[in-house]
Amino acid sequence: MRKPDPLMMMGVLIAMEVIGIYLVANSLWTGRIRFTGHFVERVQDPYLYWIELILFLCGLVVLPLWMLYRERRKR
pLDDT for 3: 75
Domain count, the chain: 1
Domain membership flag for residue 37: yes
Residue 1 lies in a domain: no
Supply the range of the domain harboring residue 57: 6-73
Tell me if 40 is assigned to some domain. yes
Establish if 13 belongs to a structural domain.
yes
32 neighbors 42 (Cβ within 8 angstroms): yes
41 within some domain: yes
Domain membership flag for residue 18: yes
Residue 53 lies in a domain: yes
Over residues 16-56, the pLDDT tens digits come to 999 999 999 999 999 998 877 888 888 998 999 999 999 99
pTM score of the predicted model = 0.76
